[in-house]
A and B are shown apart, each in its own frame.
Chain A
Amino acid sequence: MIPAKFDYVRPSSVEEAVSALQQGGDDAKILAGGQSLLPVLRLRLAAPSVVIDLGGIAELRQISEDGDRIAIGAMAPHHDVMRDDLVKQHVTLLSQATATVADPQVRHRGTLGGALAHADPAGDLGAVALALDAEFVIAGSSGTRTVPAGEFFVDYFTTAIGEGEILTQVRFPKYTGWSTHYEKFNRTAQAWSMVAVAAALRVEGGSIAEARIGLTNMGTTPIRATGVEQALVGQPATADTVRAAAEHATEGTSAPSDADAAADYREHLARVLTGRAVLAAAG
C-alpha cells in the first residue's frame, strides 16, 4: 500500500520536464494522472528513483481546435475530454470511449496522454486513436516530433516515445458528422475490456462511404481492423453485410489467452462485437 521512496519534481514547463527526465535517467517515471502509475507504485511493482509530475504544466491540459484537427493536451483528464464540446462534435468516438474508462473518480484524475503512453492493450483509448489516425506530439531535448498513430503503438506497454521524451499532445482529425460507437465487453463494470471495438462510419446515401475500426485487447497493441473496413465500404449497413464484413475482424490479430477469455473466445467476441459496433454506429 505504501510506495517505495522516490524523489519528486514538479516542473512548470515541458522544457523543464524533459530536462528533469534526462537527469533522472532510466529510473525516472513520468506522473501524468497517476491512475495507473500509483497502483503500480503502491504494490511496489516499480520503484522509480524520481517521479516527474506533469501536473504543474497548465498548457498540457488544454483542448483546442487547430484547423482541421482537435488538439488535446496530454494532461487533459478523461472527465474533461469526454465532456468537451469540440471533442463531442468532431471526435465523438473518443468521447464515447472515454466515458467507459474506469469510474468517475479515476476519470477525474486519469489523462488521455497518460493512458495512451501507458499503452496497455486492454486500455480503451488506443483503439480509438489508432482507428482515427491520431497524431502524437512528442517533446524531447531537440524539440518536438509528430508520430502517426500507426507508428505510435509498438508493443505491449511500449510506444514510440523514446528515452528522455514526453508525450505532450494528441491531435485528432475531425470526423464531424460521422456515426460512431464504442462497444465494450467486460466481465464486470470495473473490469478492463475483455475485447472492445471502436467503430466510426461515414454514411452517404444509405451506404458506408468510409469506415474506421479499432480493436481493444486483441493483440499486444491496439489493432486496426482494415479487413473489416474494406469489406464495409460501399455496402449498406444491413445486418447481413455487416456480419459478413465482421468476419474479417480477427485478421492480423494475436488475441491473448487468459482466465476471462482464451484466444478462440476472444476472436469470436471480436467478430460479434465488431458487427454490433458497426450496426450501433450506423443506428
Chain B
Amino acid sequence: MTATADTTALEFGKSRVRKEDARLITGRSRYTDAITPPGTLHVAIVRSPLAHARITGIDTTEAKRAPGVHGVYTVSDLGADEVGMPCAWPITPDQKAPQRPVLAKDTVHFAGEGVAVVVARSAAEAKDAAELVEVDYDPLDPVLDMEAALAEGATLVHPDLGTNESATWVFDSAEAGTGGSAADAIAAAESDPDQVVVRRRFRQQRLIPAFMEPRSCVVDPTGEQMVIWSATQIPHILRTMTTVTLGIPESKVRVIAPDVGGGFGGKIGVLPEEMMTVLLAQKLGRPVKWTETRSESMLAAHHGRDQIQDITIAARKDGTITALDVKLLADMGAYLGLVGPGVPVLGAFMFNAIYKIPAYRFQDTNVFTTKTLTDAYRGAGRPEATFAIERIMDELAVELGREPLELREQNWIKHEEFPFTTVCGLTYDSGNYEQATARAKELFDYEALRREQAERRERGDKVQLGIGISTFTEMCGLAPSRVLGSLAYGAGGWEAASIRMLATGKVEVITGASAHGQGHETAFSQIVADKLGVPFEDVEILHGDTASSPKGLDTYGSRSLVVGGIAITMAADKVIEKAKKIAAHLLEADEGDIEFNAGQFTVRGTDKGKAIQEIAFAAFMAHDYPEGMEPSLDSDAVYDPENFSFPHGTHLAAMEVDTETGRVNLRHYVCVDDIGNVVNPLIAEGQVHGGLAQGIAQALFEEANYDDQGTLVNGTFVDYTVPSAADLPSFTTEIVSTPATSNPLGVKGVGEAGTIASTPAIVNGVLDAVRHLGVEDIEMPTTSQRVWRAIQEAQGRSTQETPVDTHSPGAGLGSIDPNNPQGEVQ
C-alpha cells in the first residue's frame, strides 16, 4: 500500500465544501422525528394555558376512552412526583433551586408547562385525546416584572423558597486582587471635576432561539440498552443526566443525536419531555415518540437573554476609563435550566471587553418569574456584556464629545501589550485590535460615510444615516475544567477524541463534540488528513452516538474546534507515536531516526520508508511488531484547555433611518473578525453570516412578549418575527488571523462571534442616525414604531403608550387572535 495524499497541499486553511451536505441536500437526512421503530406510540402533552395556577382537578376519563389511546398520565401516574430536572450550575452555595417536575404537580408556574400526557397509536389520535383532558385551574397572580418580584410582599413563584431571588453573584476586582475598587473609583469620579460618570439602563429583551428543527425525542426500551434519540446538542450530558434524574444505570442507556436541525444553545437542556418519554417507554414497553409543534416549542423550549442592565462607567475627561460597575437582574423564568443560572455569570468576565479598566464590579441577581425558563442562547452571557459595554462606550463618547472609535482605541489593549491580564483576572493571549479596526474602516469606507452622514444632517434629509460600531471580544472554548470548578459548574470542560486506524488504511475519528450544523465532519477531517497525511476522503468522523462515541462533553460555547479539535490533534499525535515504533521496527532502524512527514515514515538520511497505511496494515496483521507493544495504532485523548480563547473583531454598520416612518434599514455591514488560524474559511464565513443574522435580529426584529396575565403573545412564527432573506442584506465579512497561543492549532472559535458583536453595532448605528434629533435611547428591538416614538418624544410631541403586550397584526394568523378566534374563514 502506498499513500495517496498530495503532500504539497495542506488541508488546513482550505475552503473545502462540506461532506455532510450530500445527505442533507438530497433528503437522505435523519432528524429525530424521522425515526419510528416498529410499534412506536406517540405523545401529546396537555399544557397549561395559564401562567400561574393551582391545579384543582384533572379529568382524563374521556381521553382514556378515545380511539387509539394507550394511556393518559399525570406526573403521579408516572410515579414521577419526586423527579426533578437537573440544574448543573449552582452559582452560589445558597442558590435557591425549585424542583422542576416532569409535569406540573399541583401548581403550574408558566404558561405552556405540561400538566398531563396522552400516549396513542398515532400523533393525530394523541392530539384528539389531549383535547378531551379536562383540567381545572384556580388562577394565581402571575409574577412578571423582575423588580416587582424582588419587592417586599411580592407574590412568590415558589412560596417554599421564601423569595423570588434565586441567587446573587458578585465579582469585585478589589476583592479579587485584580484591580481597584469600582465603588471607590466612581465615588471619587463624581466629586472630581476632571472626570465624568455615565449611567445607563439597558434592557436585553427576551429572545427565543428558534432553531429550525422542533425538538423531538424517541425512546426505544426494547433491547438491553434503552436507546434515546433526541434532537439535542448534548447527547453525552443527556445520558449522564438521565441516570442522575431517573436512576437508570448509565450503562443501560445509549443516546443518539442523529441529524440535529440547529440548536444555538436552545438544545442544551435536559428536558422534562425527554425524561417523560423515557418513563412512558419504560412503562409501556414500546418505543415512544414526542415531537413538539412550533407553537409548543415557542412556549416550552427555553428562551434566552432577558436581563435588565444598570451600567455605570467613569472616565477622565481625556477619555481614560477609570471604573466600570455592572448590576444585572436576570430573569430565570419559572425554574432553573441546566446551565441557566450561569449564563449571566459567563458574561461577568466580558463587560470589560477589550478595554483597560482599572476597577470593576459586577453583580448579578437571578430572579424567578412565571415565564418560560431562560438558558443559553447563542453567546450566552457574552452578547449581553458586549452590548452593554459597546453601547456605553458610545454614550461616553457623546458625553465627552469624542469620536467613538478614537475613544475606544484610546482605551483598548494595544497589540504589543499581549498577553494581557484583565481586571477580571483573565489572560488574553493574543489579539490585534488595531489591525482588525483599520481593515474594517477601509472596507466600510468609514470616512466617506461620516461625510455622507454630516451632509444628510445638514440637509435635514428624511432618511438619516447612522454609523454603528462594535469592537468586541469574547471568551471561547468553554472551558478549562479548573475554572469551571472555581465557578461551581457541575462538570468539566474537557473534550475527548479517539482515532481508529482501520486495516485498509482508512481512518475513523471519534469525537465527543456533537454537531448540529457546524460542519464538524468536514473541518475535523481536514485536521486529521493533515496530521496523519492521509487523504481527506479517507477520514470518517463519528459523533453523536454514545455507542460509538462514549465520552464527550458536546457542543456549545464555541468549543468544538478549540477544545474538541485539539483533542483530535492529540489523539493523532499518539497514533503517530505508536506508528513510529512499528515503523522503526519494520524498517530496522532506531526510533530516534524515524521521521514522519505527510503520511510517510522515513529513516533519516535514507530513502527507506513506509506509509502510515502500511503501518496500520502491519498493526492489523500483527505478524511482526515490537516487543512490549500492543499491536494497535488506535489512540484516545482527552484535552482540557489551559485557558479560554479570545476572538475579537471590529464590526461597523451603516444604518438608515426613515425619520418619517421610523423604519430602519441596514444598508451595509462590515466585519473583520480575528478568529486565529482558520481550518476552513468557507465554514468560518458561514458561521459569521449566521451569527450576524441572529445578532441583528435581536437588534431589529425579535422579542418574546408576555401580556399582563403571563401569556406569551407572540408564540408563533407569524408574530415572533424571525427575519427572512428579504429582511437582510449581504454582509462584507473578512477574517484576519492573530493565532491563539493557548492551543497548538492557534484557533480561537467562531460560532458565536457574529451574534455577540452585531447587536450593539446595529443599535449604536440606529441611535447615531437620530441622536441629533434628541434621541438618547431606543429599546430593542428597534422597531419602526419605537424609533418613530423616540423621535416624537425627543421633539417634545407626546404619543400614545406602546402596547407591547397585545397581539400583533397577523398574530396567529392574519388578524385572528388565537386566544379569541372569530369571524369567517374561507
Contact = CB atoms under 8 A, between A and B. Distances in A.
A2 B124 contact: yes
Interface stretch (B417-425, B542-550, B611-619, B804-812): B804-812
Interface in B786-816: 788-789, 799-816
A265 B785 contact: yes
B723 A188 contact: yes
Contact of A1 (B293, B714, B814): B293
Contacts of B714: 259
Contact of A262 (B800, B808, B812, B815): B800
Nearest to B721: A188
Nearest to A263: B800
Interface stretch (A30-38, A79-87, A173-181): A30-38
Interface in A1-55: 1-2, 4-5, 29-32, 36-37, 39-40, 43-46
Contact of B809 (A45, A260, A264, A272): A260
Nearest to A30: B826
B821 A190 contact: no
A190 B721 contact: yes
B198 to A, nearest CB: 31
A192 B814 contact: yes
A269 interface: yes
A194 B784 CA distance: 11
Interface in B127-164: 127-128, 131
Interface stretch (A114-122, A129-137, A222-230): A114-122
Contact of B810 (A30, A44, A117, A192): A192
Nearest to B802: A262
Contacts of B803: 257-259, 262
A259 B703 CA distance: 11
A193 interface: yes
B783 A258 contact: no
Contact of A156 (B807, B808, B810, B822): B822
Given A43-B295, A260-B785, A269 B823 contact: no
B824 A117 contact: yes
Contact of A188 (B131, B295, B701, B788): B701
Contact of A40 (B800, B804, B813): B813
Contacts of B806: 257-259
A259 B723 contact: no
A209 interface: no
A159 interface: yes
A158 B800 contact: no
A92 B723 CA distance: 29
Given A259-B808, A265-B800, A36 B785 contact: no
Contacts of B127: 1-2
B807 A259 contact: yes
A158 B661 contact: no
A270 to B, nearest CB: 11
B660 A122 contact: no
A192 B123 CA distance: 31
A2 B295 CA distance: 13
Contacts of B721: 187-188, 190-191
Contact of B815 (A5, A40, A156, A187): A156
A37 B825 CA distance: 6
B808 A120 contact: no
Nearest to B807: A258
B809 A193 contact: yes
Interface in A112-154: 113-114, 117-123
Residue of B804, B808, B813, B818 contacting most chain A CB atoms (<10 Å):
B813
Interface string B653-680: 0000000110100000000000000000
A188 B825 CA distance: 24
A259 B826 contact: no
Given A259-B804, A265-B785, A118 B818 contact: no
The binding surface of chain B is classed by DSSP as loop
Nearest to A216: B809
A272 B660 contact: yes
Contact of A157 (B128, B783, B800, B824): B824
A263 B705 CA distance: 19
A256 B123 CA distance: 38
B815 A120 contact: yes
A199 B282 CA distance: 64
A2 B293 CA distance: 10
A191 B809 contact: yes
A259 B713 contact: yes
A60 to B, nearest CB: 13
Contacts of B661: 185, 269, 272-273
A108 interface: no
B191 interface: no
Contacts of B822: 156-157
A118 B701 contact: no
Contacts of B124: 2
B44 to A, nearest CB: 9
B448 interface: no
A119 B814 CA distance: 10
B714 to A, nearest CB: 7
A273 B705 CA distance: 28
A45 B813 CA distance: 10
A260 B724 contact: no
Contacts of B663: 185
Contacts of B799: 262, 264-265
A43 B785 CA distance: 29
A124 to B, nearest CB: 11
B9 interface: no
B683 to A, nearest CB: 28
B318 interface: no
B821 A159 contact: no
B728 to A, nearest CB: 10
A133 to B, nearest CB: 22
A58 interface: no
A207 to B, nearest CB: 25
Contact of A36 (B724, B784, B826): B826
A157 B661 CA distance: 28
A261 interface: yes
B445 interface: no
Given A192-B815, A265-B799, A272-B660, A157 B823 contact: yes
Contacts of B293: 1
Contacts of A32: 826
B811 A36 contact: no
B724 A189 contact: yes
B726 interface: yes
B727 interface: yes
A122 B723 CA distance: 20
Given A189-B726, A192-B809, A268-B788, A260 B814 contact: no
A44 B131 contact: yes
Given A45-B816, A121-B815, A193-B809, A29 B701 contact: no
B825 A265 contact: no
Contacts of B123: 1-2
A43 B816 CA distance: 12
A117 B823 CA distance: 11
Contact of B814 (A122, A189, A194, A265): A122
Nearest to B813: A39
Contacts of A29: 825-826
A217 interface: yes
Contacts of B788: 265, 268
Contact of B808 (A4, A161, A260, A269): A260
Shortest Cβ-Cβ A-B pairs, 6 listed:
A157-B823, A189-B726, A192-B810, A120-B814, A117-B826, A45-B821
16 contacts: A2-B124, A4-B131, A5-B128, A30-B826, A45-B818, A46-B825, A158-B824, A187-B808, A188-B726, A189-B724, A191-B721, A256-B809, A259-B804, A262-B785, A262-B800, A265-B800
Given A217-B809, A263-B800, 20 more contacts: A31-B826, A36-B826, A43-B812, A46-B825, A118-B814, A119-B823, A122-B814, A157-B815, A157-B816, A159-B824, A191-B718, A191-B721, A258-B803, A258-B806, A259-B807, A261-B809, A262-B801, A264-B800, A268-B788, A273-B661
